[in-house]
Structure 1
Amino acid sequence: MAAYTNVYWWSADGVRLHARDYGGGDDAPTDGRPPLLCIPGLTRNARDYKAFAEAHAGEWRVIAVSLRGRGESGYAKDAMSYVPLTYMQDIEALLVDQKIDRFALVGTSLGGIVGMLLAGARGGRIAGALINDVGPEIDAAGLSRIRGYVGKGSSCPTWLHAARTVAEANRDIYPDWGLEEWLAMAKRLYRLTSAGRIVLDYDLRIAEPFRVPGAESGPDMWSALAALGDAPVLVVRGERSDILSGPVAERMIAALPDATLATVPGIGHAPTLAEPEAAGAIGAWLDKVRARH
């Protein structure tokens, strides 16, 4: 199990934020390669990148973020701050706090949107980008599905009940998973309260701005994507994704000079990045980032 240190920093509006830092400080790689900055999806947190960090920490410094309102990060007073632009500003504050001038981005779903916004703000500092199952245009069917469940509370008496709840909601996305995978996913999504109940580990109010049309992304995401320039880019897509369509993924690859598409067969939104097709492509992408740096 890869060791990590907890990093805390403050947002401009006074929210205490959290990230897991695998391989920082004295354990950081000595060849100057950029850290991997990992940003999770809408209802996820830093735990979502545990397996990714265990696969790459040691060779790379891996920083896994919990966005405001998730995991160990504080909840916002203003629910309307749960939008991509504010998340981007929170990450900017982390980069300043950690004195990070250059990094490689790993973003899943909402995390990929935030990453593209970071590129749009100043793309030259991004040494490479792994964009997991999201693009500048989001499929309407997927948005409708997400709006149907986000912000609805769920409480379970045991971890087994939580695993069954997660399986019922996601069986179409991961059709080959068994109890072990569902239990692991439940422990990424839920937390145990002091009262002994198992509840979703995010502020249910993140749903409030998400229900506003257009609030899920930014105003000109294709320009934000283009700001990645000639940095190595890997787009990972679930074959059955209802968020990133095949045509949009192909258009993303065509829009960038050094971009590759990896499709994970048989699953929906979003790949865990541990699938063989994703893991192999990630290894090749990291080789490019290392060589370029």
Structure 2
Amino acid sequence: HVLGALKPAALKAIVLNDIGPVIEAEGLAHIRSYLDRAPRPKTFAEAVDTQRRVHGAGFPALTDADWARMVGAICRDTDAGLVPDFDPALVETLANVDFSKPLPDLWPQFNALAAVPLLAIRGGNSTLLSTATLEEMAERHPGMETITVEGQGHAPLLETGNLPKKIADFLDRAEVKST
């Protein structure tokens, strides 16, 4: 959002994966809660089971192979064993968020993207990007395309189902518009 507001000509097209100008506090609180007590599985299989147990309700559409790919993307094997692979500063940043106060929004920055082809993908079970925010995004950016991925939460796995083809088709259409 900010890059688009600062240098809109630098962007030919935008794909937002379950994020928008408004972030729901409930979803952010869930992420903070999970990161605060991120489990330390000993094996890959244990990590897959843990992810399925913790996030399964939000991602009922995932197959065993999808869960394994997710764990492969969010964990790495080290000499100390399997560890979560995310920026530790994220935990500190989220620890300082006061959820009793409204979170800031990025509507002015989003509005600056009006001329850029935009695809917004929302997980049908997302608690981070609400349906209401997605609808307002579409009102403010009439050319925006949307995809709702049923059976997935935040953030949908972009390599599942027919998402790769839909994203590629959007980017092809965006390229045609920009030439």
TM-score by length of 1: 0.55
User: What letter corresponds to residue 173 of structure 1 in structure 2?
Assistant: G
Whether 1:208 and 2:63 are equivalent positions in the alignment is no
As a proportion of its length, which structure holds more helix?
2
Shift of 1:219: 5.0
Which residue does the alignment assign to 1:260? 145
Asked whether the equivalents of residues 240 and 269 of structure 1 are also in contact (C-alpha less than 8 Å), the reply is: yes
**Quick one: which of 171, 187, 192 aligns to 2:56?**
171
**Quick one: which of 64, 69, 82 aligns to 1:198?**
82
Deviations 1:245-273 (CA, angstroms, capped at 9, x unpaired): 11110110111142111111222212112
Shift of 1:132: 1.1
After the TM superposition, which residues 1-293 of structure 1 pair with which residues of structure 2 at under 5 Å, given as runs? 116-195=1-80, 197-213=81-97, 219-276=104-161, 278-293=163-178
Asked whether the equivalents of residues 236 and 278 of structure 1 are also in contact (C-alpha less than 8 Å), the reply is: no
Structure 1: tracts of 5 or more residues without a match: 1-115
Shift of 1:204: 3.1
* DSSP 3-state at the match of 1:192: strand
Shift of 1:214: 7.1
Deviations 1:104-125 (CA, angstroms, capped at 9, x unpaired): xxxxxxxxxxxx1111222121
Deviations 1:188-219 (CA, angstroms, capped at 9, x unpaired): 11111124x1111134342112232379xx95
As a proportion of its length, which structure holds more strand?
1
Aligned alpha-carbon RMSD (Å):
2.2
* DSSP 3-state at the match of 1:228: coil
Against the structure 1 CA distance between its residues 265 and 277, is the aligned structure 2 distance closer, same or farther, given a 3 Å change threshold? farther
Against the structure 1 CA distance between its residues 241 and 153, is the aligned structure 2 distance closer, same or farther, given a 3 Å change threshold? closer
Query: How many Å separate the matches in 1 of 2:76 and 2:160?
Result: 25
* DSSP 3-state at the match of 2:109: helix
Against the structure 1 CA distance between its residues 239 and 118, is the aligned structure 2 distance closer, same or farther, given a 3 Å change threshold? same
Query: How many Å separate the matches in 1 of 2:137 and 2:171?
Result: 19
Against the structure 1 CA distance between its residues 118 and 151, is the aligned structure 2 distance closer, same or farther, given a 3 Å change threshold? farther
Query: How many Å separate the matches in 1 of 2:61 and 2:104?
Result: 37
Structure 2: tracts of 5 or more residues without a match: none
Deviations 1:171-193 (CA, angstroms, capped at 9, x unpaired): 01211333322222111111111
Query: How many Å separate the matches in 1 of 2:77 and 2:146?
Result: 38
Q: Which has the higher contact order (CA 8 A, sep 6+)?
A: 2
Query: How many Å separate the matches in 1 of 2:172 and 2:22?
Result: 28
Asked whether the equivalents of residues 151 and 205 of structure 1 are also in contact (C-alpha less than 8 Å), the reply is: no
Against the structure 1 CA distance between its residues 231 and 261, is the aligned structure 2 distance closer, same or farther, given a 3 Å change threshold? same
Query: How many Å separate the matches in 2 of 1:178 and 1:117?
Result: 35
* Number of aligned positions between the proteins: 175
Deviations 1:103-157 (CA, angstroms, capped at 9, x unpaired): xxxxxxxxxxxxx111122212111111111111112221221121124343222
Query: How many Å separate the matches in 2 of 1:153 and 1:246?
Result: 28
